Chain A
């Protein structure tokens, strides 16, 4: 078994500034040793540890999709020591990534089902990975309808804008993009918080429809009653949790909610499962 603490060396291949506040950047990494890419085979919903020697590590959801080859991609909010340093790094710089870590959205169970994706702010990363995965020609027929409610504070704060526009044009995915507010007269999408837009646009919940929800705590708090009202059972509401992490594979002891480790047994849990654990996240 390989040393799980040892990062794969990667080179920064591309840096994209995603948002108008410049606080969110997407980093595309290429493995220095090409054989490492196969070892990094992941599923949408998993995360990795970005590892900067001398600074530390940070657990971040994988934003690229298993159907995209040749690179892995992470979108990072500038917040603490490691992410501040990362935001100052350049294309060509070498660092490390570990993973893939944690579980994933339950793709085996989701086959043949209708999918509602609800995302807010910069928690859209693994949701982007999921959408790209489902829309792949090899996979699209495996799923029923796909609805996406995605909101940010303003148009300039939306991630992956180019892709959002392309998805808007497709007829095999129903996009419901929204912003909290905008003074842009040409804004042709929704205005309003994610929970009310979900209430207006999302399909009714039933046995064959699953909701995947990722966003800031305040969004989750107000989205939950909306989904319940729409008829989503708690075992049909899938969420991805965050906690402070170090090792990322269930050994260092800090990210537990009850007997589950968010890093290893999660980060993906159904609301049903979360209801049975202490909410220490």
Chain B
């Protein structure tokens, strides 16, 4: 694995060169709003590498809030009347510059849902496969960052093709995959940093990881049965303040739930995939009016059980959370997933009841 050294004076030039081979995405300051978002970068635009974190995760690059899946006509004179057609999609190479390691890790978790042995969501998978992930290590983690507890971390390389490390006057670029090497070539990043570069990355990594104070544990959640946690007595309390606004699900890099909706204008129509949220009663309501998750408590429980228990049991590969801290920052009523995880992990009444029953 090569480490390259990029002088910041040459950074803009390299990005300009990469523009020719890739559609570039990166963090951009949103005017007068005080936050950044991942956006497609215009030909002259540069990614804002100083942004501490984006308000939303970059999940929308493979999972847009609204995406046309199919188009159709209801014109009876057309021989394709009422027959769905998949529109031409552009899956030319794209590169996400400045994605944080926890957000790249989230792509791998979401991939478990959209790319399965039986079914493949072509929209997500094709977009994902078109992406090259040029990550930016987090030198100064925020107080909400608990990514080291979730199999990620401020310098984690999982899911990245290149890891960039900001060292002040230059970036160190650790090339992790062939895709990463191809990007470096297109940007004309060539100067090798050698062993000194590796050492500097290791030092900065240790320093960043040391700054993360927040941790979560889920070892006991793993041992408990689904029913014991589901029937636990703390859910009313956890959900009490929740207003079911759904913000946590929109800002979350690992939330993938979606809806399918048709839109028609005159005789032309499209079938769309749109973001949905388990926080809303409409998510699960039956035509009869019956709703299996009709109350707020049921919906809040679903969100945390899905992330911290169902996913854990289903894939046996950790929780469905990368520790970015966005839901904690954005929650209007201060619900903290670290605290909920702790409540779930400390719960033991269920285990005792089971033992007694036997």
Task: Give me the interface of A with B, judged by CB distance under 8 Å.
Answer: 1, 3-7, 9, 32, 51-57, 79-80, 83, 93-96, 242-244, 246-247, 249-256, 258-259, 264, 276-281
Residues of B within 8 Å of A258, CB to CB, are 226, 230, 305, 310
Q: Does B119 contact A4, Cβ atoms closer than 8 Å?
A: yes
User: CB-CB contacts of B101-136 with A at 8 A, as 1s and 0s?
Assistant: 000000000000110101111100000000000000
Residues of B within 8 Å of A281, CB to CB, are 292
Q: Which partner residue on chain B sits nearest A98 by CB separation?
A: B84
With A244-B286, A252-B257, A276-B227 known to touch, is A55 a contact of B262 (CB < 8 Å)? yes
Q: Which of B121-172 contact A (CB under 8 A)?
A: 121-122
Q: Does B226 contact A276, Cβ atoms closer than 8 Å?
A: yes
Q: Which partner residue on chain A sits nearest B122 by CB separation?
A: A3
CA–CA, A93 to B119, complex, Å? 29
With A250-B119, A256-B310, A259-B310 known to touch, is A93 a contact of B82 (CB < 8 Å)? yes
Q: Does A252 contact B276, Cβ atoms closer than 8 Å?
A: yes
CA–CA, A251 to B258, complex, Å? 8
Task: Give me the interface of B with A, judged by CB distance under 8 Å.
Answer: 69-70, 72, 74, 81-84, 86, 113-114, 116, 118-122, 225-227, 230, 256-262, 264, 269, 271, 273, 276, 278, 283-288, 292-293, 298, 302, 305-306, 309-311, 313-314
CA–CA, A185 to B111, complex, Å? 62
Q: Does B119 contact A53, Cβ atoms closer than 8 Å?
A: no
With A4-B121, A251-B119, A280-B298 known to touch, is A53 a contact of B287 (CB < 8 Å)? no
Contact pick for A242, options B260, B276, B286, CB 8 Å: B286
Q: Does A53 contact B284, Cβ atoms closer than 8 Å?
A: no
B33 to chain A, nearest CB (A): 30
Residues of A within 8 Å of B122, CB to CB, are 1, 3
Q: Does A254 contact B283, Cβ atoms closer than 8 Å?
A: yes
Residues of A within 8 Å of B69, CB to CB, are 5
Give the A-B pair count, Cβ closer than 8 A.
125
Residues of A within 8 Å of B273, CB to CB, are 5
Residues of B within 8 Å of A256, CB to CB, are 302, 306, 310
Q: Does B284 contact A243, Cβ atoms closer than 8 Å?
A: yes
CA–CA, A94 to B78, complex, Å? 12
Q: Give 5 pairs: A residue, B residue, CB < 8 Å, sorted on A.
A: A6-B86, A53-B82, A54-B74, A252-B276, A258-B230
A99 to chain B, nearest CB (A): 12
Residues of B within 8 Å of A3, CB to CB, are 86, 122
Contact pick for B82, options A4, A6, A96, A276, CB 8 Å: A96
CA–CA, A3 to B311, complex, Å? 25
A82 to chain B, nearest CB (A): 9
Q: Does B257 contact A254, Cβ atoms closer than 8 Å?
A: yes
B317 to chain A, nearest CB (A): 13
Apart from the given pairs A244-B286, A278-B227, A280-B284, 19 other A-B contacts in the complex at a CB distance below 8 Å: A3-B86, A3-B122, A4-B120, A5-B70, A6-B84, A53-B264, A53-B271, A54-B72, A54-B74, A56-B260, A243-B286, A244-B284, A246-B260, A249-B118, A250-B116, A250-B119, A253-B306, A258-B305, A259-B311
CA–CA, A130 to B243, complex, Å? 46
Q: Does A253 contact B84, Cβ atoms closer than 8 Å?
A: no
A48 to chain B, nearest CB (A): 15
Residues of A within 8 Å of B114, CB to CB, are 251
CA–CA, A244 to B258, complex, Å? 13
9 closest A-B pairs by beta carbon, nearest first, are A253-B257, A259-B310, A80-B287, A280-B292, A53-B72, A54-B264, A9-B83, A94-B82, A79-B287
Q: Which partner residue on chain B sits nearest A247 by CB separation?
A: B260
Residues of B within 8 Å of A54, CB to CB, are 72, 74, 262, 264, 269
CA–CA, A243 to B327, complex, Å? 28
Q: Which partner residue on chain B sits nearest A276 by CB separation?
A: B227
Q: Does A96 contact B83, Cβ atoms closer than 8 Å?
A: yes
CA–CA, A234 to B257, complex, Å? 32
Residues of B within 8 Å of A280, CB to CB, are 284, 292-293, 298, 302
Q: Does A1 contact B120, Cβ atoms closer than 8 Å?
A: yes
Q: Does B120 contact A9, Cβ atoms closer than 8 Å?
A: no
Q: Does A251 contact B284, Cβ atoms closer than 8 Å?
A: no
CA–CA, A253 to B264, complex, Å? 25
Q: Which partner residue on chain B sits nearest A7 by CB separation?
A: B84
Q: Does A254 contact B284, Cβ atoms closer than 8 Å?
A: yes
Contact pick for A251, options B70, B113, B292, B311, CB 8 Å: B113
Contact pick for B276, options A94, A254, A278, CB 8 Å: A254
Q: Does A1 contact B119, Cβ atoms closer than 8 Å?
A: yes
Q: Does B288 contact A79, Cβ atoms closer than 8 Å?
A: yes
Contact pick for A253, options B70, B225, B258, B271, CB 8 Å: B258
A151 to chain B, nearest CB (A): 19
Q: Does B284 contact A252, Cβ atoms closer than 8 Å?
A: no
CA–CA, A249 to B283, complex, Å? 16
Residues of B within 8 Å of A55, CB to CB, are 262
Q: Which partner residue on chain B sits nearest A56 by CB separation?
A: B262
Q: Which partner residue on chain A sits nearest B283 by CB separation?
A: A254
Q: Does B227 contact A95, Cβ atoms closer than 8 Å?
A: no
CA–CA, A168 to B120, complex, Å? 45
Residues of B within 8 Å of A253, CB to CB, are 113, 256-258, 276, 278, 306
Residues of B within 8 Å of A94, CB to CB, are 81-83
B231 to chain A, nearest CB (A): 8
Q: Which partner residue on chain B sits nearest A216 by CB separation?
A: B288
CA–CA, A51 to B84, complex, Å? 10
Residues of A within 8 Å of B269, CB to CB, are 53-54
CA–CA, A32 to B70, complex, Å? 18
With A254-B278, A276-B226, A278-B230 known to touch, is A9 a contact of B310 (CB < 8 Å)? no
With A79-B287, A278-B227 known to touch, is A259 a contact of B278 (CB < 8 Å)? no
